[in-house]
Amino acid sequence: MTAQDKEKRAINRLESMRPLRAKVNETYLKSVEAIQSGKPAVWGMLNFYYGDPILKAMDIEVVYPENYGAIAAAMGVAQQYLDRADAEGFPTHLCGYSLTTLGYASRMMKELGGEIPPEAPLGGMPKPLFLMSSAAICDARYKWFQALGRYMDAPVWTLEAPTPGVKEFFMEGYYDAMVTLGVKHLRDFVAFVETMVGRKMDWDRLDRITNLMIEVNRVWHEVNELRKVKPCPMHSRDFWSAMPAALFLAGDLEDSLRLYQDMYREVKARVDSGIGAVPEEKYRLVFAELPPWHSLAFFDKLAERGWSFVVESFGYRPPIPIDPDVMAVSDPLERITRFSLQFFAGYYEDARQQKVLGGAFAYPYLKYAREWKCDGAMLHPLISCRSASTHLPYVADMLMEKLKVPSLSIEGDIVDLRLFNTEDALARAEPFEETMDHYRMVRQQEGLDW
């Protein structure tokens, strides 16, 4: 057996993942076609289901610089944009995604007069009509877009977002106030988009798209629930390949729904037949934060050791399904707002009751490790992303204290491959197995059931 064959078989990838992954490529190509045929295209920030359905209902093609940064990294072309951002004077400790796309924007606007750089992967991101940023999670998410907007000479709309995970979030009337405010913001956003494109919103279309968005994410949630089974039928690599269609609403939603249903069937068939994504699953792990996109083969090497990544960070997973009563709400803007809030708040009530501080980011890992029966956690603090990193030591402490699940922390970055050393990371994997073996025994002694 050649090394190549071995690598291919290290992770048993899902066939149903492939058309979902292809939807991402399709999205970028469609945005370029849209611009060429005079249709508007927008650069959007990951907004957790808040602004996307509005743009989709207005038939606007959206590309996501955050996602594009990951693509550029995975396709090995990010470095030149990072270098260019460096030359433009942006500090190297800024978010790797932001630096990649700021470098891209600089090259496109200052060097090529608005033309898409010829080396840009997937046809590139065309000049946008406007940019839609989001205030959720961290300041980089709107300051970055303001900087991009200046390069592109295009207006920037910032979607407001709640600040969950703080105790004020549970004050009487707070949730309803958030809904009221959210709906108002969306109404303002619709008016802004109508002005920009010179057309009125098709409210019936928005109604359908909203319901489809919620249903796509419900099915995607059910797929991931199946991964609790041993051996785990689906690896995190398939999760990351398939997630953009649900997270960014990439491509046609009816098509996405069908594809996620196909994926559910394939994963369920594996569950029924006892087929694992890693043929000899020895260790089940939760992966915290985004992976090193430039070095995904790293996970194949770990799979050869029997490591199966069975669950990932909550920030990229579909929300816990929403109360069915919400579907009866007639105003689609309110349904959108409640669904987006569900992403932020879905775990917090449970976290608060269990007195887990920092519940917003840390609590989901406790839930995952317990329900997906994880032997360990691999934490990937991202040197250029504070939001994704600062809570991880706390996560490690909580997992050990409450569940006796050890963590392995490997520093790296989502884009900058200079910050991730595959060999060094693999060298730590072997001794970590000794640690996982020890705590498997400790959990049994303490009456935990895995």
Partner 1 sequence: MYFAGIDVGSTMTKAVLTNEGGELLSAVKGPTGPEHRRLANEVMRGALEQAGLQIDDISYIVATGYGRVNVPFADRQVTELSCHARGVFSLFPGVKTAIDIGGQDVKCMKINGGRLIGFVMNDKCAAGTGRFLEATAATLGIRLEDMGDIASKATKRVQISNLCTIFAQQEVVALLSRGEPLENIVAGLHIALASRVAALAQRLVIEPDLALTGGVAMNTGMVRAMRESLGRDVLVPEEPLLTGALGAAIIANEAYREAAEDGTLPTGTRRLEEATFFAEEDL
427 binds partner 1 (CB under 8 A): yes
d(CA 385, CA 69): 13
Closest contact distance (angstroms) between CB of 404 and partner 1 is 10
Which residue, 261 or 421, is less far from partner 1 as judged by CB?
421
Side-chain half-sphere exposure of 307, counting CA atoms within 13 A: 24
Among 194, 221, 411, 450, binds partner 1 (CB under 8 A): 411
Contact indicator for 52, 9 with CB cutoff of 8 Å: no
Closest contact distance (angstroms) between CB of 414 and partner 1 is 15
Of 23-31, 261-269, 364-372, 403-411, the segment contacting partner 1 by CB under 8 A is 403-411
Among 406, 414, 415, 416, binds partner 1 (CB under 8 A): 406
Contact indicator for 435, 399 with CB cutoff of 8 Å: no
Contact indicator for 286, 312 with CB cutoff of 8 Å: yes
Which residue do the tokens 């990010």 mark?
78
448 binds partner 1 (CB under 8 A): no
Contact indicator for 279, 371 with CB cutoff of 8 Å: no
DSSP H or E segment with residue 22? helix 17-36
Q: Count interface residues toward partner 1 (CB under 8 A).
A: 17
Contact indicator for 96, 384 with CB cutoff of 8 Å: yes
Which residue, 144 or 287, is less far from partner 1 as judged by CB?
287
Which residue, 125 or 410, is less far from partner 1 as judged by CB?
410
* Cα 303 to Cα 53, 121, 123, 287, distances in angstroms: 37, 28, 33, 14
94 binds partner 1 (CB under 8 A): no
Q: Which residues contact 182 (CB under 8 A, 6 or more apart)?
A: 50, 160, 162, 337, 340, 341
Of 77-85, 93-101, 163-171, 405-413, the segment contacting partner 1 by CB under 8 A is 405-413
438 binds partner 1 (CB under 8 A): yes
Which residue, 109 or 400, is less far from partner 1 as judged by CB?
400
Of 127-135, 191-199, 215-223, 423-431, the segment contacting partner 1 by CB under 8 A is 423-431
196 binds partner 1 (CB under 8 A): no
Which residue, 422 or 435, is less far from partner 1 as judged by CB?
435
430 binds partner 1 (CB under 8 A): yes
439 binds partner 1 (CB under 8 A): yes
435 binds partner 1 (CB under 8 A): yes
* Cα 69 to Cα 13, 35, 63, 296, distances in angstroms: 24, 21, 11, 15
Of 66, 70, 77, 140, residue with least CA distance to 107: 77
Closest contact distance (angstroms) between CB of 187 and partner 1 is 47
Instruction: Looking at residues 282 to 321 of the shown chain, list those that interact with partner 1 (rule: CB under 8 A).
Output: none
Q: What is the largest CA-CA distance in the chain?
A: 67
Of 91, 132, 103, 75, residue with least CA distance to 384: 91
Among 25, 79, 211, 409, binds partner 1 (CB under 8 A): 409
261 binds partner 1 (CB under 8 A): no
Q: Side by side, which strands form the sheet with 307-312? A: 307-312, 283-288, 376-379, 407-409
d(CA 111, CA 285): 45
Of 112-120, 171-179, 324-332, 433-441, the segment contacting partner 1 by CB under 8 A is 433-441
Which residue do the tokens 């295209």 mark?
41
Closest contact distance (angstroms) between CB of 318 and partner 1 is 32
SS3 323: coil
Instruction: Looking at residues 329 to 388 of the shown chain, list those that interact with partner 1 (rule: CB under 8 A).
Output: 383
Contact indicator for 343, 354 with CB cutoff of 8 Å: no
Which residue, 59 or 424, is less far from partner 1 as judged by CB?
424
422 binds partner 1 (CB under 8 A): no
Q: Which residues bind partner 1 (CB under 8 A)?
A: 383, 393, 406, 409-411, 419, 421, 427-428, 430-432, 434-435, 438-439
